[in-house]
Structure 1
Amino acid sequence: ESTNSLLKAVIGRIGQVINLAWGFKADLRDLEEKLEKLDDMLSGVHPECFGNNRVLNRWMKLAREVAYQAEDVMDDYSYELFKRRIALEIRSEFCARFKTNIRFFFS
């Protein structure tokens, strides 16, 4: 029975992580689409186009900085998701070995 409760707890935790990942995945896709649109817009514009218009030049600089920061956030998220996936694989392997050892012990 303790093996079943352990497995239920692990399965529940895996479900939580998967739900969390799916929720972020939609947000990440939305952010990626917006960044692509921003990149399309920024790639065709050069600072010389605005001449001495400081407001537009400042806005372009800020837009580029925001795009780089968003890209960093996406990279961080991808790394965290990768770490969680590895941790889940390790836990799953541990549970499988634990279950095998319990069966061997009681047989």
Structure 2
Amino acid sequence: YPPESTALLGVLSIARRSSIWTVFRKDDIQRFGSVVGMFRNSDRLFRISYGPVKLLGTCHPDVIQQILTNPGCVERPFFYRFTGLEQGLLSARHQQWKIQRRALNPTFNLKIL
């Protein structure tokens, strides 16, 4: 299993015991640094505790390709709806994703690139 990082709201890495208010007082740069650190310190995968839910994170291209091309991974998890990211190409529901992808396919034509 990948190493586990306890996270609050999927963004803040809380590795040591600290006041919850201290975590909320972090500025955007510190929160972004926490996220970057989780990706930087992992080889292929890492786990995040999101309350009772366990999430996996990766930035390895081979793992990302397997996830995005696996038919079992077409429906996106609740996390995208919670964060307001459910309309994007990487996080849209299957039917909406198909429509968006079909519209974008011509832009990936080698003659255009």
Would the TM-score normalized by the shorter structure come out above 0.5?
Answer: no
Counting strand residues as a fraction of each chain, which structure ranks higher? 2
Give TM-score scaled by structure 1 length.
0.22
Q: Which structure: greater helix fraction? A: 1
Greater radius of gyration (CA) = 1
